[in-house]
Amino acid sequence: MPATLIKGKPIADRIRAEVAEQVREIGHIGLVTVLVGDDPASEVYIRLKHKAAVEAGIDATDLRLSADTSEVELLEKVEELDSDQDVDAILVQLPLPKQIDEARIIRALAPAKDVDGFHPFNAGQLYLGRPTLVPATPLGVMAMLAEHRIDLDGARAVVIGRSDIVGKPMAHLLMQANATVTICHSHTKDLARHTLDADVLVAAVGVPAMVSPDMVKTGSVVVDVGINRTDAGIVGDVDPGAAEIAAYLTPVPGGVGPMTIACLLQNAVRCARYRRGELVYPA
Protein backbone atom coordinates (compact mmCIF):
# COMPACT_ATOMS: atom_id res chain seq x y z
CA MET A 1 0.00 0.00 0.00
CA PRO A 2 1.45 3.42 -0.89
CA ALA A 3 2.51 5.69 1.95
CA THR A 4 0.11 8.05 3.68
CA LEU A 5 1.07 11.55 2.57
CA ILE A 6 1.63 13.94 5.45
CA LYS A 7 0.38 17.14 3.86
CA GLY A 8 1.57 20.35 5.45
CA LYS A 9 -1.11 22.74 4.29
CA PRO A 10 -4.06 21.60 6.45
CA ILE A 11 -1.88 21.58 9.59
CA ALA A 12 -0.31 24.91 8.65
CA ASP A 13 -3.75 26.44 8.03
CA ARG A 14 -4.86 25.42 11.49
CA ILE A 15 -1.70 26.80 13.12
CA ARG A 16 -2.12 30.06 11.21
CA ALA A 17 -5.72 30.37 12.41
CA GLU A 18 -4.51 29.78 16.00
CA VAL A 19 -1.82 32.43 15.53
CA ALA A 20 -4.43 34.91 14.23
CA GLU A 21 -6.49 34.28 17.37
CA GLN A 22 -3.44 34.88 19.59
CA VAL A 23 -2.58 38.06 17.71
CA ARG A 24 -6.11 39.36 18.42
CA GLU A 25 -5.64 38.50 22.09
CA ILE A 26 -2.22 40.21 22.31
CA GLY A 27 -3.35 43.24 20.31
CA HIS A 28 -0.21 44.11 18.36
CA ILE A 29 2.75 42.07 17.21
CA GLY A 30 5.46 43.90 15.30
CA LEU A 31 7.58 41.84 12.91
CA VAL A 32 10.31 43.38 10.78
CA THR A 33 11.85 41.36 7.98
CA VAL A 34 15.09 42.60 6.48
CA LEU A 35 16.07 41.66 2.94
CA VAL A 36 19.48 42.82 1.74
CA GLY A 37 19.89 42.71 -2.04
CA ASP A 38 17.63 41.14 -4.63
CA ASP A 39 18.25 37.39 -4.58
CA PRO A 40 15.16 36.01 -6.40
CA ALA A 41 14.65 32.99 -4.10
CA SER A 42 14.91 35.22 -1.01
CA GLU A 43 12.40 37.62 -2.57
CA VAL A 44 9.90 34.77 -2.91
CA TYR A 45 10.44 33.60 0.68
CA ILE A 46 10.07 37.13 2.07
CA ARG A 47 6.89 37.68 0.06
CA LEU A 48 5.35 34.44 1.36
CA LYS A 49 6.32 35.20 4.97
CA HIS A 50 4.87 38.70 4.70
CA LYS A 51 1.61 37.62 3.20
CA ALA A 52 1.17 35.01 5.91
CA ALA A 53 2.08 37.46 8.68
CA VAL A 54 -0.34 40.10 7.42
CA GLU A 55 -3.12 37.51 7.05
CA ALA A 56 -2.59 36.56 10.71
CA GLY A 57 -2.94 40.21 11.73
CA ILE A 58 0.75 40.69 12.50
CA ASP A 59 2.05 44.20 11.87
CA ALA A 60 4.77 43.23 9.40
CA THR A 61 7.31 45.65 7.96
CA ASP A 62 9.17 44.64 4.83
CA LEU A 63 12.51 46.41 5.06
CA ARG A 64 14.61 46.32 1.88
CA LEU A 65 18.27 47.33 1.78
CA SER A 66 20.44 47.57 -1.32
CA ALA A 67 22.88 44.80 -2.26
CA ASP A 68 25.86 47.06 -1.48
CA THR A 69 24.80 47.67 2.14
CA SER A 70 27.88 47.42 4.37
CA GLU A 71 28.16 45.21 7.45
CA VAL A 72 28.32 48.31 9.67
CA GLU A 73 25.16 49.75 8.12
CA LEU A 74 23.27 46.50 8.64
CA LEU A 75 24.57 46.21 12.22
CA GLU A 76 23.31 49.71 12.94
CA LYS A 77 19.90 48.85 11.50
CA VAL A 78 19.68 45.66 13.58
CA GLU A 79 20.64 47.55 16.75
CA GLU A 80 17.97 50.15 16.00
CA LEU A 81 15.34 47.39 15.65
CA ASP A 82 16.61 45.67 18.81
CA SER A 83 15.76 48.74 20.85
CA ASP A 84 12.54 49.69 19.02
CA GLN A 85 9.63 49.14 21.43
CA ASP A 86 7.21 48.56 18.54
CA VAL A 87 9.25 45.62 17.25
CA ASP A 88 8.69 42.20 18.81
CA ALA A 89 10.39 40.03 16.20
CA ILE A 90 13.21 40.52 13.69
CA LEU A 91 14.02 38.30 10.72
CA VAL A 92 17.13 38.88 8.63
CA GLN A 93 16.74 36.86 5.44
CA LEU A 94 19.75 34.69 4.60
CA PRO A 95 21.95 34.45 2.62
CA LEU A 96 23.44 37.92 3.02
CA PRO A 97 25.71 39.50 0.38
CA LYS A 98 29.38 38.49 0.52
CA GLN A 99 30.64 41.65 2.23
CA ILE A 100 28.53 40.90 5.33
CA ASP A 101 29.46 38.34 7.98
CA GLU A 102 26.18 36.51 8.67
CA ALA A 103 27.29 35.18 12.04
CA ARG A 104 28.07 38.71 13.20
CA ILE A 105 24.64 39.99 12.18
CA ILE A 106 22.87 37.06 13.87
CA ARG A 107 24.86 37.70 17.06
CA ALA A 108 23.73 41.34 16.99
CA LEU A 109 20.03 40.39 17.16
CA ALA A 110 18.36 40.73 20.54
CA PRO A 111 17.97 36.99 21.35
CA ALA A 112 14.33 37.38 22.47
CA LYS A 113 13.48 39.05 19.12
CA ASP A 114 15.30 36.40 17.04
CA VAL A 115 12.19 34.93 15.42
CA ASP A 116 14.27 32.47 13.33
CA GLY A 117 15.96 31.03 16.43
CA PHE A 118 19.42 31.35 14.86
CA HIS A 119 21.11 33.41 17.61
CA PRO A 120 23.80 31.41 19.50
CA PHE A 121 21.85 31.90 22.74
CA ASN A 122 18.71 30.33 21.28
CA ALA A 123 20.74 27.58 19.58
CA GLY A 124 22.45 26.95 22.93
CA GLN A 125 19.16 26.73 24.79
CA LEU A 126 18.00 24.07 22.32
CA TYR A 127 21.29 22.20 22.73
CA LEU A 128 20.75 22.25 26.51
CA GLY A 129 17.25 20.85 26.13
CA ARG A 130 15.56 24.10 27.24
CA PRO A 131 14.26 25.40 23.93
CA THR A 132 13.34 29.09 23.62
CA LEU A 133 13.08 30.20 19.99
CA VAL A 134 13.68 27.21 17.70
CA PRO A 135 14.15 27.36 13.90
CA ALA A 136 10.77 27.08 12.18
CA THR A 137 11.49 24.27 9.72
CA PRO A 138 12.38 21.59 12.29
CA LEU A 139 9.53 22.84 14.50
CA GLY A 140 7.22 22.31 11.54
CA VAL A 141 8.51 18.77 11.02
CA MET A 142 7.86 17.95 14.69
CA ALA A 143 4.31 19.29 14.39
CA MET A 144 3.70 17.10 11.32
CA LEU A 145 4.97 14.01 13.16
CA ALA A 146 2.81 14.86 16.19
CA GLU A 147 -0.26 15.35 14.02
CA HIS A 148 0.07 11.79 12.73
CA ARG A 149 0.93 10.48 16.21
CA ILE A 150 4.29 9.10 15.06
CA ASP A 151 5.84 7.47 18.10
CA LEU A 152 9.36 8.87 18.45
CA ASP A 153 10.15 7.36 21.83
CA GLY A 154 12.94 4.87 21.20
CA ALA A 155 12.60 5.21 17.42
CA ARG A 156 15.72 5.20 15.29
CA ALA A 157 15.85 8.58 13.55
CA VAL A 158 18.31 9.53 10.83
CA VAL A 159 18.76 13.14 9.76
CA ILE A 160 20.64 13.75 6.51
CA GLY A 161 22.10 17.26 6.70
CA ARG A 162 23.75 19.14 9.55
CA SER A 163 23.02 22.79 8.78
CA ASP A 164 22.42 25.21 11.64
CA ILE A 165 19.02 26.01 10.14
CA VAL A 166 17.59 22.54 9.63
CA GLY A 167 19.73 19.46 10.30
CA LYS A 168 21.22 20.29 13.72
CA PRO A 169 18.07 21.68 15.37
CA MET A 170 16.08 18.80 13.83
CA ALA A 171 18.41 16.25 15.40
CA HIS A 172 18.12 17.96 18.80
CA LEU A 173 14.33 18.04 18.71
CA LEU A 174 14.19 14.35 17.76
CA MET A 175 16.65 13.48 20.52
CA GLN A 176 14.58 15.46 23.02
CA ALA A 177 11.56 13.43 21.90
CA ASN A 178 13.60 10.34 22.94
CA ALA A 179 14.50 9.11 19.47
CA THR A 180 17.95 7.62 18.93
CA VAL A 181 19.42 10.01 16.40
CA THR A 182 22.09 9.61 13.74
CA ILE A 183 23.22 12.67 11.80
CA CYS A 184 24.57 12.07 8.29
CA HIS A 185 26.33 14.57 6.01
CA SER A 186 28.47 14.80 2.92
CA HIS A 187 31.33 12.87 4.55
CA THR A 188 29.14 9.99 5.71
CA LYS A 189 30.32 6.66 4.33
CA ASP A 190 27.70 4.22 3.05
CA LEU A 191 24.73 6.52 3.63
CA ALA A 192 22.22 3.79 2.76
CA ARG A 193 23.49 1.65 5.62
CA HIS A 194 22.23 4.34 7.98
CA THR A 195 19.04 5.29 6.16
CA LEU A 196 17.90 1.67 5.83
CA ASP A 197 17.91 1.46 9.60
CA ALA A 198 15.77 4.59 10.05
CA ASP A 199 12.26 4.35 11.48
CA VAL A 200 12.14 8.10 10.86
CA LEU A 201 14.24 9.56 8.06
CA VAL A 202 14.57 13.32 7.59
CA ALA A 203 16.28 14.51 4.41
CA ALA A 204 17.55 18.11 4.48
CA VAL A 205 20.25 18.10 1.86
CA GLY A 206 19.39 20.18 -1.21
CA VAL A 207 20.10 17.45 -3.79
CA PRO A 208 17.10 16.44 -5.94
CA ALA A 209 15.84 12.90 -5.27
CA MET A 210 19.10 11.86 -3.58
CA VAL A 211 17.20 9.48 -1.29
CA SER A 212 16.20 6.65 -3.63
CA PRO A 213 13.48 4.11 -2.74
CA ASP A 214 16.12 1.43 -2.09
CA MET A 215 17.54 3.60 0.73
CA VAL A 216 14.25 3.62 2.63
CA LYS A 217 13.23 1.14 5.35
CA THR A 218 9.88 -0.60 4.76
CA GLY A 219 7.12 0.95 6.85
CA SER A 220 9.18 3.97 7.91
CA VAL A 221 8.33 7.67 8.14
CA VAL A 222 10.12 9.81 5.58
CA VAL A 223 10.24 13.59 5.88
CA ASP A 224 11.46 15.47 2.83
CA VAL A 225 12.68 18.96 3.73
CA GLY A 226 14.39 19.59 0.39
CA ILE A 227 13.23 22.35 -1.92
CA ASN A 228 15.10 22.07 -5.20
CA ARG A 229 14.31 24.12 -8.29
CA THR A 230 14.73 21.95 -11.39
CA ASP A 231 13.54 22.07 -15.02
CA ALA A 232 10.75 19.74 -13.90
CA GLY A 233 9.65 22.23 -11.22
CA ILE A 234 10.19 22.08 -7.47
CA VAL A 235 11.31 18.67 -6.24
CA GLY A 236 12.43 17.33 -2.89
CA ASP A 237 15.48 15.41 -1.72
CA VAL A 238 13.49 12.15 -1.73
CA ASP A 239 12.54 10.23 -4.86
CA PRO A 240 8.71 10.09 -4.83
CA GLY A 241 9.06 6.34 -5.50
CA ALA A 242 9.82 6.08 -1.76
CA ALA A 243 6.03 6.23 -1.29
CA GLU A 244 5.93 2.57 -2.33
CA ILE A 245 8.21 1.60 0.58
CA ALA A 246 7.50 4.03 3.43
CA ALA A 247 4.37 4.13 5.60
CA TYR A 248 4.36 7.96 5.69
CA LEU A 249 5.92 10.51 3.36
CA THR A 250 5.81 14.31 3.25
CA PRO A 251 5.20 15.53 -0.32
CA VAL A 252 7.16 18.28 -2.09
CA PRO A 253 5.70 20.78 -2.68
CA GLY A 254 2.95 21.01 -0.08
CA GLY A 255 4.77 19.24 2.75
CA VAL A 256 7.25 20.88 5.08
CA GLY A 257 7.26 24.22 3.20
CA PRO A 258 3.89 25.52 4.45
CA MET A 259 4.75 24.36 7.98
CA THR A 260 7.89 26.49 8.07
CA ILE A 261 5.88 29.64 7.51
CA ALA A 262 3.20 28.70 10.05
CA CYS A 263 5.82 27.92 12.72
CA LEU A 264 7.62 31.17 11.98
CA LEU A 265 4.39 33.02 12.83
CA GLN A 266 4.12 30.95 16.02
CA ASN A 267 7.62 32.12 16.89
CA ALA A 268 6.57 35.74 16.34
CA VAL A 269 3.80 35.22 18.92
CA ARG A 270 6.39 33.77 21.26
CA CYS A 271 8.64 36.82 20.79
CA ALA A 272 5.68 39.09 21.63
CA ARG A 273 4.94 37.08 24.78
CA TYR A 274 8.58 37.29 25.85
CA ARG A 275 8.61 41.05 25.42
CA ARG A 276 5.40 41.44 27.41
CA GLY A 277 6.69 39.18 30.19
CA GLU A 278 3.93 36.60 29.59
CA LEU A 279 6.68 34.09 28.91
CA VAL A 280 9.96 34.39 30.76
CA TYR A 281 13.00 34.63 28.54
CA PRO A 282 15.97 33.05 30.35
CA ALA A 283 18.32 35.70 31.76
- Toward ligand NAP, which CB reaches closer, 110 or 173? 173
How far does Cα 97 stand from its chain's mean position? 21
- Toward ligand NAP, which CB reaches closer, 90 or 205? 205
How far does Cα 258 stand from its chain's mean position? 10
- Toward ligand NAP, which CB reaches closer, 11 or 87? 11
- Residue 93 is among the residues annotated as catalytic for this protein: yes
Provide the residue type at 252 as one letter.
V
Contact call for residues 166 and 141 (beta carbons, < 8 A): no
Exactly one of 49, 77, 113, 217 is catalytic; name it.
49
Exactly one of 116, 224, 237, 239 is catalytic; name it.
116
User: Which residues are near ligand NAP by CB under 6 A?
Assistant: 137, 160-163, 165-167, 184-188, 191, 204-207, 210, 225-228, 256-257, 260
Cβ density class 89-111: b for 16+ within 10 Å, e for less: bbbbbbebbeebeeeebbbbbbb
Exactly one of 22, 77, 88, 93 is catalytic; name it.
93
- The Cα-based distances of 136 to 49, 143, 165, 170, 258 in angstroms read 12, 10, 9, 10, 10
- Residue 266 is among the residues annotated as catalytic for this protein: no
Minimum CB separation from ligand NAP for residue 259, in Å?
A: 7
- Residue 49 is among the residues annotated as catalytic for this protein: yes
Strand ordering across the sheet containing 221-224: 4-5, 248-249, 221-224, 200-203, 156-160, 180-184
Contact call for residues 144 and 11 (beta carbons, < 8 A): yes
Q: Which of 30, 13, 12, 153 is nearest to 81 (CA)?
A: 30
Minimum CB separation from ligand NAP for residue 139, in Å?
A: 11
Minimum CB separation from ligand NAP for residue 195, in Å?
A: 10
Minimum CB separation from ligand NAP for residue 86, in Å?
A: 28
Residue nearest to ligand NAP (CB): 163
Q: Which of 231, 153, 222 is nearest to 3 (CA)?
A: 222
- Toward ligand NAP, which CB reaches closer, 132 or 195? 195
Minimum CB separation from ligand NAP for residue 238, in Å?
A: 11
- Toward ligand NAP, which CB reaches closer, 75 or 234? 234
- Toward ligand NAP, which CB reaches closer, 26 or 191? 191
Minimum CB separation from ligand NAP for residue 187, in Å?
A: 5
Catalytic positions are: 49, 93, 116
